[in-house]
């Protein structure tokens, strides 16, 4: 077995949908379990993931997502309520498979020492204040991410 060349993972979370909030948190917490370091940079809609009380309310949209296994054409996906139906369905499957809730993964990440960086620029643009975010978040810019990511890191974005 060769020695690993990366001992940390640096992730950018750009989206605020339920399905795309899982990969950063699962990878970061899995990295901790493998004795790696981890950081997540939350930017644009990704900031939604770390807003207080928001994680378990993130939605998945059935529209424009041809992979969503729902027998609905776009026109039906349009009906008010279908996003909620798709989200509820997915949440039910997650629970049945004993997948942790997003809020639990967030707690695991923060308590396990994942560096959680909220994008300063996005906060300025969207008028988000630090007190709108969960505890344990640091505020920073692209330079903070690049500096962390330039040291032997696996780098990914979702």
Which residues within the stretch 93-132 sit at the binding site for a second copy (CB under 8 A)?
93-94, 96-97, 99, 121, 124-127
53-92: contacts with a second copy (CB under 8 A): 58-61, 63-69, 73-75, 77-83
Instruction: Kindly tell me which of 49 and 116 has the beta carbon lying closer to a second copy.
Output: 49
Q: How far apart are CA 101 and CA 82, in angstroms?
A: 21
Buried/exposed 10-23: b ≥16 CB within 10 Å, e otherwise: bbbbbbbbbbbbbe
User: CB of 136: closest distance to a second copy in angstroms?
Assistant: 21
Nearer to a second copy, 53 or 127 (CB): 127
Strand partners, 39: 10, 115
Taking the complex as a whole, how short is the minimal distance between the CB of residue 149 and a second copy, in angstroms? 5
CA distances to 6, 46, 77, 96, 126 from 130, in Å: 31, 15, 35, 34, 12
Q: Which is nearer to a second copy, 4 or 135 (CB)?
A: 4
Q: Least distance from C-beta 61 to a second copy, angstroms?
A: 4
The residue count for the chain:
158
Contact flag: residue 13 with a second copy (CB under 8 A): no
Q: Does 9 bind a second copy (CB under 8 A)?
A: yes
CB 157 within 8 A of CB 24: no
Q: What are phi and psi of 154, to 5 degrees?
A: -75, 125
Nearer to a second copy, 9 or 133 (CB): 9
Q: How far is the CB of 128 from a second copy (least distance, A)?
A: 10
| Phi and psi, residue 90, nearest 5° | -65, -40
């Amino acid at each position: 077995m060769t020695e690993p060349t990366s001992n940390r993972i640096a992730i950018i979370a750009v989206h605020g949908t339920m399905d795309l909030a899982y990969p950063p948190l699962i990878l970061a917490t899995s990295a901790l379990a493998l004795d790696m370091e981890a950081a997540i940079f939350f930017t644009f809609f990704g900031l939604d993931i770390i807003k207080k009380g928001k994680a378990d309310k993130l939605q998945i949209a059935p529209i424009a997502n041809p992979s969503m296994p729902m027998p609905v054409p776009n026109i039906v996906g349009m009906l008010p309520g279908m996003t909620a139906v798709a989200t509820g369905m997915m949440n039910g499957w997650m629970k049945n498979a004993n997948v942790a809730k997003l809020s639990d993964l967030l707690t695991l990440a923060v308590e396990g020492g994942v560096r959680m960086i909220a994008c300063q620029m996005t906060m300025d643009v969207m008028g988000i204040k630090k007190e709108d975010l969960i505890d344990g978040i640091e505020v920073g810019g692209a330079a903070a991410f690049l500096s962390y990511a330039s040291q032997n890191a696996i780098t990914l974005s979702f």
